[in-house]
Structure 1
Amino acid sequence: MAAPTDCSLIATDLDGTLLRGDDSLSDRSLAALALATRAGARHLVVTGRPAPGVRPLLDRLGSTGLAVCGQGAQVYDAGANRLLHSVTLDRELAETALGKIEAEVGEVYAAVDQDGVDGLTLIEPGYRMPHPTLPAVRIGRRDDLWVLPITKVLLRHPFLSDDELAATARSVVGSLATVTMSGPGTVELQPCGVTKATGLALAAEHLGLSRERTVAFGDMPNDVPMFHWAAHGVAMANAHPELKAVADEITTTNEDDGVAVVLERLFGGTGGAGRGGTRPHACRSGLHPHG
């Protein structure tokens, strides 16, 4: 194996970042990740998807290592198919938070991700999954959402935008939960204080890797804490303005293999010649962690 570059940890979001809109992984992205691995870097998936929903993608990536799932609530060991770390959302607090939100904006549609490597995604009547390829079980009434431990609540509103719903939720939920927005039609309630950064920090510590040598890729506001933690944050061209505002670099879109564009540059590949993103940086020349 070649000596590692200064970028020894690559943290990638999935939806809107590493994955294309049809949930596919391009050959170019797979080749770029393999290039980085040969150079000694480790790749960590850091996603809002729960561990059960990530397993098929990890198989496609050939990954048997760690993944950060559930917006940082889970650190999953793919090789052993077990959770090294998991934080659940108190179900009474979740119900209270949901009631406070509905008191402000009217009825919302809710879903939950259950805890565990075999946990289900349950959706109540009216809730529509933002990714139709993700498995979900429709239940008959809201009370059925709270039967088993959960890691998060997913919310949709009939007509409010995601930004409007997230802003209202943050204003009324307070310390009951952490409010995140992870994609179109995906506003979520997490355990208080849990973010992608907290999960990534735990996984990096387990691997003996540091934030000073981490480059992170993302596209939505839920990636902001991860960008603040990592030495270098790369936003996709299709990213939410809130994430672009804190990014060190903006690459091309997920449909145009934006992750691969940067990795090819950092690790010496030639596949992306002439197709790089804006504000290029060389990882070897020194990345500095956010303050």
Structure 2
Amino acid sequence: MAAPPAYALIATDLDGTLLRDDDTVSDRSRAALERAARAGARHLVVTGRPAPRVRPLLEGLGSTGLAVCGQGAQVYDAGADRLLWSVRLDRELAETALGKIEAEVGQVYAAVDQDGVDGLTLIEPGYLMPHPTLPAVRVGRRDDLWCEPISKVLLRHHTLSDDELAAIARSVVGSLATVTMSGPGTVELQPCGITKATGLALAAEHLGIAADRALAFGDMPNDIPMFDWAARGVAMANAHPELKAVADEITTSNEDDGIAVVLERLFPTD
């Protein structure tokens, strides 16, 4: 009988990690994930993107299993096209948090991801999508952002860096929300206490896989809780310094098939 794989769960972020800069997955990365799957390992996407923005990518990967979306606020069953679990961000708390942030830094530009498998991404005037390929609906005024339940708020500032905006937001938001930085131009407010590790732990429990059998890949500070939860965390060469500082290993960049480099070593033969 063949020995079980060293890692039974491979958790990968998408943007800046599994995805190349053109939003595609390379043939080499696909082949490495398929080889790991044949060895018995499960691949789990763990991303800040909400479920509706992840569905096409999962279809392209041929994935019908679970995915952790919305920074851990959603556990999505791709095969059934339904949320197994989701947490909403209270809209009144979100408005209060925005007010506290703007009292410190002046005007910010906001967007929201609506809850649900068909939720929209709404953006207020002045907000620029960090990923222009992702669909979004522009609304006329900020009040329109709160028309339906939401899973998170996305923030941008015209002069502050992401690090600066995230640090100030954390200092004033307190327990109103969790503040994360998940990519260039992406500072987010999500339900208090919710991180990628929250959703990852729930999905892993559903699959019957313990944290000590999990391998995680990421590139941004929002991946730190996922690295803390998993047995091993691998940062991409293009990763934020905060994530590199806590990683067990640094691989090559997302453009240079960093995930495949590691998986080819861990799963050398079928």
The equivalent of 2:143 in structure 1 is 143
**In the aligned structure 2, how far is the partner of 1:117 from the partner of 1:35?**
30
Q: Residue 116 of structure 1 corresponds to which residue in structure 2?
A: 116
- Counting only pairs closer than 5 Å after superposition, residues 106-185 of structure 1 correspond to structure 2 as 106-185=106-185
For residues 19-53 of structure 1, what are the alpha-carbon distances to aligned partners after superposition, in whole Å with 9 as ceiling and x for unaligned?
00010110000000000000000000000000000
The answer for the alignment partner of 1:214 in structure 2 is 214
Residues 203-245 of structure 1, C-alpha deviations (whole Å, 9 max, x = no match): 0000000100000000000000000000000000000000000
**Structure 2: how far apart are the matches of 1:177 and 1:3?**
44
- Distance in structure 2 (CA, Å) of the matches to 1:61 and 1:71: 20
Q: Distance in 2 between matches of 1:269 and 1:254?
A: 23
Shift of 1:3: 4.8
Distance 2:2 2:107 in 1: 56
TM-score by length of 2: 0.99
Counterpart residue type for residue 104 of structure 1: E
Q: Give the unaligned 5+ runs of structure 2.
A: none
Letter in 1 for 2:45: V
Q: Which amino acid aligns with 1:239?
A: A
| Structure 1 counterpart SS, 2:94 | helix
Q: Secondary structure at the match of 1:179?
A: strand
CA distance in 2, matches of 1:4, 1:88: 38
1:201 aligns with 2:174: no
Matched to 2:263, the amino acid is: L
1:69 equivalent in structure 2 = 69
> How far apart, CA to CA, are the structure 1 residues paired with 2:19 and 2:6?
25
- Deviation track 1:77-117 (CA, whole Å, cap 9, x = no partner) reads 00000000000000000000000000000000000000000
2:75 is the counterpart of 1:49: no
CA distance in 2, matches of 1:94, 1:5: 43
Q: TM-score by structure 1 length? A: 0.92
Gaps of 5+ in 1: 271-291
Equivalent positions of 1:1-291 (< 5 A) are: 3-269=3-269
Report if the CA contact (8 A) 1:32-1:269 is conserved: no
Q: Does the residue aligned with 1:85 lie in a helix, a strand or coil?
A: strand
Offset of 1:176 from its aligned partner?
A: 0.2
Separation in structure 1 between the aligned mates of residue 189 and residue 220 of structure 2, nearest angstrom? 15
One-letter amino acid of the counterpart of residue 164, structure 1: E
SS in 1 for 2:40: coil
2:43 and 2:208 map into 1 onto residues whose CA distance is 13
CA contact (8 A) 1:224 1:246 kept: yes
After superposition, the Cα gap between the structure-2 partners of 1:157 and 1:65, relative to the gap in structure 1 and judged at 3 Å, is same
Shift of 1:6: 1.8
Q: CA deviation at 1:4?
A: 2.9
Counterpart CA distance in 1 for 2:56 and 2:133 is 11
Aligned partner of 1:245: which letter? A
Runs of 4+ in 1 over 4 A off after TM superposition: none
How far off its partner does 1:2 sit?
Answer: 5.8
- State the number of aligned residues: 270
